[in-house]
Amino acid sequence: MARGIVTLTTDFGLADPYVGIMKGVILGVAPRARIVDLTHQIQPFEIAEAGFVIWQSWRYFPAGTVHVVVVDPGVGTLRRPILAEAGGHYFLGPDNGVFSMIFDELPHKVREVTAEAFFLKPVSRTFHGRDVFAPVAARLARGLSPARLGKLIRDYARQEFFKPVRSGKRIWTGTVLRADRFGNLITNFRLSEFPTVATRPFLLRAGLETITRLAGTFAEVPPGELALVEGSTGYLEIVMNQASAARKLGCGPGSPLELTLY
Amino acid sequence: MARGIVTLTTDFGLADPYVGIMKGVILGVAPRARIVDLTHQIQPFEIAEAGFVIWQSWRYFPAGTVHVVVVDPGVGTLRRPILAEAGGHYFLGPDNGVFSMIFDELPHKVREVTAEAFFLKPVSRTFHGRDVFAPVAARLARGLSPARLGKLIRDYARQEFFKPVRSGKRIWTGTVLRADRFGNLITNFRLSEFPTVATRPFLLRAGLETITRLAGTFAEVPPGELALVEGSTGYLEIVMNQASAARKLGCGPGSPLELTLY
Amino acid sequence: MARGIVTLTTDFGLADPYVGIMKGVILGVAPRARIVDLTHQIQPFEIAEAGFVIWQSWRYFPAGTVHVVVVDPGVGTLRRPILAEAGGHYFLGPDNGVFSMIFDELPHKVREVTAEAFFLKPVSRTFHGRDVFAPVAARLARGLSPARLGKLIRDYARQEFFKPVRSGKRIWTGTVLRADRFGNLITNFRLSEFPTVATRPFLLRAGLETITRLAGTFAEVPPGELALVEGSTGYLEIVMNQASAARKLGCGPGSPLELTLY
């Protein structure tokens, strides 16, 4: 099923050549691989942010795509490299729970990647993106069978990310997952899980403000006002019309939210 | 004429995975497309800036290239997606005037893109880059005939960008179009339209300074002094030699300029 | 040996479309070239920084790769474009010493690039990345023989970069080469040249602190403490465990270091 696409998600930034070096390694093994950057601006070591990004993105790629995520506070320790298969895609990264949102949603198999024959030698202790993940991703992109990489495991790491918590009879406590470049605040409330937001009154507390409106799109929001829209990921986002909700509210990733349904 | 190249110009930034997601959609439809980023750091909603960037860039690509510009304050409203053909290239984006500089310069045809069969379903109300422009660009890159996308229209949006205005007998009022990373200030005066700058005295007021020198290249400018050079786009740029004219003058995009010719 | 890969290292940043324009020119000449960005965030005109990045990166690409470096304070002057061949790779850029670290390490041949037939016409005086280096790189990626580009020269520029200096009986003075995104400080001390750091006591002064520990990897460093690790380039790096050594020390590129060996 491999079509030779590799996506990269890291916290390496773009000022250093680390991402380019990974691409050099990939193209050395798989000269025809197509490499797509998702983002390299994950906050350093923010596994949860990387987990949200890959969950949000993988489904827009063709089946057989290899998704490499290198946000890896434990690099150089005994934490294992893993390969997960889910939804017809490959997910390659450290065993630190970064794929938990995908595991929550889809049947999946996970292998520990032990086939050191495919690693770049010597494996450095600080840059497994280059020495482990890039060459293994390239092998997969060329069609290597996952079974060649290592055995199935069951004790891989999982984390509970991003779930709203019931904190009262009709009250849920949530959080801001991300602020995007426009200042839209992606919340951890999914419209599909809180469908009455679309049909009945609600009240969302954020910062010092209260939001009571669900809009169909940004342009429907009156200037200067805050509203919710269903974002492109299915999560509700706090937005303004051509202005920054993040700045208006003083909120960002991790800011608490409280949703009351009536 | 299609050679399968797609360029992307957006205000999405690179911290979010939105650009990568568009690439996933494109590669799903057109696995051999070559995708080139022009910039994703257009100031949010700055149609004029995006219009200048695409005008400056398209001509360096081979004929048949598909140029996608998504700077779209009206996403989710009734504003139409359009496809323009000009100079042997394709230009795909919202109908908000972003291609006006190209229309001013070249014969062109414009279609409203109505062929929803090619859109990603359901079309979100917030991310037409992914759901409309990416899949349509990919079809064009694969050689789809533009006529399959929709009918020719004449009432597409145009804007007057960036033209200097005569404000006295020998005086023209202009503006700074962009500051680049080096602090060079790209003005809206084209040397070809003001050729006497090269042959006779002139005086350009910018910030609190007055510039009277046209240099052939940066290295000719004495340290600490300001000068004009003809930039790579044909527009005059205010520059210093290995220093930032933008910082020296306190000027940036939109700053007023006054050119006096003698 | 050409496999059609072109890497790009510039100080152009990503806000302007200059890098994308270079890619358009390359793809126009070599439609199948694979283009990889190393970084475009070299500090403006910092030849030494660019020289370190390309030295650090080239070896991870397949033989025959064309490495283009455009950090070029002298653009538009008489400084020559050069093509170097070393280690089975091509290095293309201005003759300003940017490839000195590679010349120090490998046998090499250098040509002045004089074959104007391959340049984009007219050659601007401000953007040789587009008009000279991109089209020439594309020719090389398509398999053009280097001899077609110009004659071998011997008087190309070289610079002494980055060498620690002996300043006492057991004391060496060095410098910080780069700070990466995580705040790790890459020093100009290579473990292979100072191997006793691994086996005997040492003392590295940086900022107001003194570092006495060599760790195998980040995770071995106790929270809040500074240590050295051998980075992925072979140079010693001053690091903290999931924290920024650069911020802790107030150091960055160019900060002085003093290493005492016992």
Task: Tell me the pLDDT band of A77, cut-offs 50, 70 and 90.
Answer: confident
- Same domain for B145 and B21? yes
β B81-86/B89-94 pair status: antiparallel
**Chain C residue with the nearest C-alpha to that of B243:** C44
Q: Which of B199, B201, B209 is nearest to B239 (CA)?
A: B209
What tokens does B259 get? 């050119």
The C-alpha atoms of residue A122 and residue A133 are separated, in whole angstroms, by: 14
pTM recorded for the entire structure: 0.89
Res. A209: pLDDT tops 80: yes
Q: Report d(CA B228, CA B240) in Å as an integer.
A: 9
A77 touches chain C (CB under 8 A): yes
Q: What is the mean pLDDT of residues B47-54?
A: 90
Give per-residue pLDDT as tens, A210-235. Answer: 999 999 888 889 999 999 999 888 89
Give the mutation candidate from A21, A22, A119 for the C interface (greatest C CB count, under 10 A): A21
Q: Could you tell me how many CB contacts below 8 A there are between chain B and chain C?
A: 85
Whether residue C245 is found in the same domain as residue C122: no
Claim to verify: residue C178 and residue C242 sit in the same structural domain: yes
Mutate to test the interface with C, among B1, B60, B101, B182 (most CBs of C within 10 A): B60
Query: Do B74 and B169 lie in a common domain?
Result: no
Number of domains forming the structure of chain B: 2
> Domain boundary at C153, C185, C216, which?
C153
- Asked whether the bond before C122 is cis by omega within 30 degrees of 0, the reply is yes
State whether residue B44 sits within 8 Å of chain C by CB: no
Is B61 an 8 Å CB contact of chain C? yes
Q: Which helix (H) or strand (E) holds A247?
A: helix A245-249
Say if residues B8 and B38 touch (Cβ distance below 8 Å).
Answer: yes
Q: Tell me what the pLDDT averaged over chain C comes to.
A: 92
CA distance B71 to chain C (A): 15
Report the chain B residue with the minimal C-alpha distance to residue A65.
B24
- Residues C119 and C217 occupy one common structural domain: no
Residues 172-191 of chain B whose Cβ lies under 8 A from any Cβ of chain C: 178, 180-182
- Domain match, C26 and C130 both: yes
> In this complex, is the C-beta atom of A141 within 8 Å of any C-beta atom belonging to chain C?
no
Is residue A178 classed as helix, strand or coil in its secondary structure?
A: strand
Q: Which two tokens stand for residue C104?
A: 């120090």
Q: Identify whether residues B140 and B11 lie together within a single domain.
A: yes
Q: Please name the member of B53, B181, B242 whose beta carbon is closest to the beta carbon of C12.
A: B181
Handedness of CA B84, B90, B95, B101 (dihedral sign): negative
Query: Is residue B227 included in any domain, yes or no?
Result: yes
Q: Same structural domain for residues B199 and B255?
A: yes
- The boundaries of the domain holding residue C210 are 165-261
| A73: Cβ contacts below 8 Å, ≥ 6 apart | A45, A47, A96, C219, C242
Instruction: Give how far C62 is from chain A: nearest CA, Å.
Output: 5
Contact at CB, A127 and C232, closer than 8 angstroms: yes
pLDDT > 90 in chain C, percent = 76
Separation CA C49–CA C242 (nearest Å): 25
Answer whether B83's CB lies under 8 Å from B91's CB.
Answer: yes
Q: Cα–Cα distance between A113 and A79 in angstroms, integer?
A: 11
CB contact under 8 A, A12 and C65: no
**Which residues of C fall within a CB distance of 8 Å from A76?**
216-220
Where residue A1 falls among pLDDT bands split at 50, 70, 90? Answer: very low
> Does some domain include residue A243?
yes
CA gap A41, A50 in Å, rounded: 9
Q: What is the CATH number of the domain that holds C54?
A: 3.40.50.10790
Tell which of B5, B6, B14, B79 to mutate to test the A interface (max A CBs under 10 Å): B14
**Chain A residues touching residue B123 (CB < 8 angstroms):** none
Q: What is the mean pLDDT of residues A129-152?
A: 97
Mean pLDDT of B18-37: 97
Q: Is C198 on the interface with A (CB under 8 A)?
A: no
Residues in chain B: 262
Q: Are A69 and A39 in contact (CB under 8 A)?
A: no
Q: Closest partner residue to B216 among C17, C73, C125, by Cβ?
A: C125
Centre a 10 Å sphere on the Cβ of residue C147 and count the other Cβ atoms it contains: 10
A160 within domain boundaries: no
- Which residues make Cβ contacts (< 8 Å) with residue B206, sequence separation at least 6? B176, B185, B226, B238, B249, B251, B255, B257
Chain C CB within 8 Å of residue B84 CB? no
Q: How far apart are CA A230 and CA A238, in angstroms?
A: 9
Chosen domain end from A107, A126, A153: A153
Q: Do A181 and B28 touch (CB under 8 A)?
A: no
User: What is d(CA B7, CA C20) in angstroms, rounded to the nearest whole number?
Assistant: 8
Judge if C141 and C31 occupy the same domain. Answer: yes
Shared-domain flag, residues B91 and B197? no
Residues whose CB falls within 8 Å of the CB of residue C232, separated by 6 or more in sequence, listed in order: A124, A126, A127, A130
Query: Chain C: residue nearest B179 by CA?
Result: C16
C165 to chain B, minimum CA–CA distance in Å?
Answer: 29
Q: Dig out the tokens for C196 from the structure.
A: 């006793």
Burial class (CB in 10 A: 0-12, 13-18, 19+), C187: buried
pLDDT of residue C2: 41
The pLDDT, as a whole number, for residue B2 is 40
**Is a pLDDT exceeding 50 seen at residue A2?**
no
pLDDT tens per residue, range C48-102: 889 999 999 999 999 999 999 999 887 777 789 999 999 999 999 999 999 999 9
Give pLDDT, residue A73. Answer: 81
Contact A27 C38 (CB under 8 A): no
Cis peptide before B122 (omega within 30 of 0): yes
Phi, psi of B168 (to 5 degrees): -175, -175
User: Of A192-196, C76-80, C85-89, C167-171, which one has max mean pLDDT?
Assistant: C85-89
- Among C38, C180, C218, whose Cβ lies nearest the Cβ of A75? C218
Q: Which range among A139-153, B66-80, C115-129 has the greatest average pLDDT? A: A139-153
pLDDT tens-digit readout, C17-31: 999 999 999 999 999
* Contacting residues of C for B232, CB less than 8 Å apart: 124, 126-127, 130
What average pLDDT score do residues B18-36 get? Answer: 97
Same domain for C32 and C106? yes
Residue A246, H or E segment: helix A245-249
Touching subunits for chain B (3+ Cβ pairs under 8 A): A, C
Instruction: Please determine, for the modelled complex, whether the ipTM score is greater than 0.95.
Output: no
Strand partners, A165: A173
pLDDT digits (tens, 9 = 90+) for B114-135: 999 999 998 888 889 999 999 9
User: Which residues have CB under 8 Å from B124's CB, separation 6+?
Assistant: A232, B130, B131
The answer to whether residue C109 sits within a structural domain is yes
Number of H helices, E strands in chain A: 6, 14
Q: Clarify whether residues A169 and A249 are in a common domain.
A: yes
Q: CB neighbours (10 Å) of residue A103? A: 20
Tell me the sheet residues that pair with C173.
C165, C258
Look at residue B12 and tell me if it is in a domain: yes
Q: Tell me, what CATH number does B246's domain have?
A: 2.40.30.90
pLDDT level of residue A154 (50, 70, 90 thresholds): very high
Is the pLDDT at C1 greater than 60? The verdict is no
pLDDT, one tens digit per residue, over B171-199 is 999 999 888 888 999 999 999 999 999 99
Nearest Cα residue to C48 out of C18, C19, C77, C69: C69
In a domain, B228, yes or no: yes
Closest among B237, B242, B193, B185 to B214, alpha carbons compared: B237
- Is B36 in contact with C25 (Cβ distance < 8 A)? no
Of A13, A27, A124, which has the smallest distance from its Cβ to C34's Cβ? A27
Is A10 an interface residue toward B (CB < 8 Å)?
no
The tens digit of pLDDT for each residue in A17-74 reads 999 999 999 999 999 999 999 999 998 888 888 999 999 999 999 999 999 999 988 7
The SS3 call for residue C206 is strand
Collapsed DSSP state (helix, strand, coil) of residue C138: helix
Share of chain A above pLDDT 90, in %: 76
Does the CB of B125 have a partner CB in chain A at under 8 Å?
yes
| DSSP assignment letter at A152 | B
B159 found inside a domain: no
Query: B219 — contact with chain A (CB < 8 Å)?
Result: no
Q: Is B142 a member of any domain?
A: yes
**pLDDT in the model for residue B77:** 73
Where does a domain end: B118, B153, B188?
A: B153
Q: Looking at the DSSP assignment, which residues form a beta bridge with residue A206?
A: A209, A257
* pLDDT at residue number C3: 58
3-state secondary structure chain B: CCCCEEEEEECCCCCCCHHHHHHHHHHHHCCCCEEEEEECCCCCCCHHHHHHHHHHHHHHCCCCCEEEEECCCCCCCCCCEEEEEECCEEEEEECCCCCHHHHHHCCEEEEECCCHHHCCCCCCCCCHHHHHHHHHHHHHHCCCCHHHCCCECCCCCCCCCCCCEECCCCEEEEEEEEECCCCCEEEEEECCCCHHHHCCCEEEEECCEEECCECCCHHHCCCCCCEEEECCCCEEEEECCCCCHHHHHCCCCCCEEEEEEC
- Check if the beta carbon of residue B91 is closer than 8 Å to that of residue B59: no
